[in-house]
A and B are shown apart, each in its own frame.
Chain A
Amino acid sequence: AQSVTQPDIHITVSEGASLELRCNYSYGATPYLFWYVQSPGQGLQLLLKYFSGDTLVQGIKGFEAEFKRSQSSFNLRKPSVHWSDAAEYFCAVGPTRANNLFFGTGTRLTVIP
């Protein structure tokens, strides 16, 4: 079955600290993998995506993610978090057999001063 799991519902980090958000997927072939961010009251915005090539992907706002096929993971990282990074982050995988993108349940990030 195709699925994506974000094990952490809520993460709190201090401003300036590093961040890693976990994403694990189940997919029969080489997936497209995405990270989207949703600020409060807003729609989703693409941070980065991966399909092939270099397994370390650079995105917007200083984020990066690493595709690890052996671990079925696509974790999102940022070396130094800013208060404006407080938001909900969604990992997604696709396309599914139903021609969907399958979104994870999200990780809410809180940034404390």
Chain B
Amino acid sequence: NAGVTQTPKFQVLKTGQSMTLQCAQDMNHNSMYWYRQDPGMGLRLIYYSASEGTTDKGEVPNGYNVSRLNKREFSLRLESAAPSQTSVYFCASSERALTDTQYFGPGTRLTVL
């Protein structure tokens, strides 16, 4: 089992460029999450998906869109990247609820110049 995988591991963008961060899990989990981690701050939830076909905003959704492509995959898109989106992005999944154990991917380090 690979668990939660994320691609790419690193990315550098220029302001205004777009990109999609990919996430996949092989644990048959219903719920998936996207977080960002910034220095001196805890993880903040961007979007989550409680089940295939549903998505909901988290704490910091502005500037992002998501797609729950199927039960395995949950992508995060930056339509027009800004320097404030420089961060480390983590995808996570859990069996059902937010309060179930969350399993995290290794992260994507994104720099926006």
Q: Could you tell me if A94 and B99 are in contact, using CB atoms closer than 8 angstroms?
A: yes
Assembly CA distance A50 to B99 (angstroms): 10
Q: How many residues of B contact A (CB 8 A)?
A: 22
Partner of A100, one of B59, B90, B105: B59
Interface SS, B side? loop
Interface residue range, chain A? 20 to 34
Q: Could you tell me if A103 and B43 are in contact, using CB atoms closer than 8 angstroms?
A: yes
- Knowing A41-B106, A42-B106, A98-B58, the reply to whether A32 touches B42 (Cβ < 8 A) is no
Assembly CA distance A27 to B110 (angstroms): 33
A–B complex contacts, Cβ < 8 Å, 8 sampled: A43-B90, A43-B106, A44-B43, A46-B101, A90-B43, A98-B45, A98-B59, A101-B98
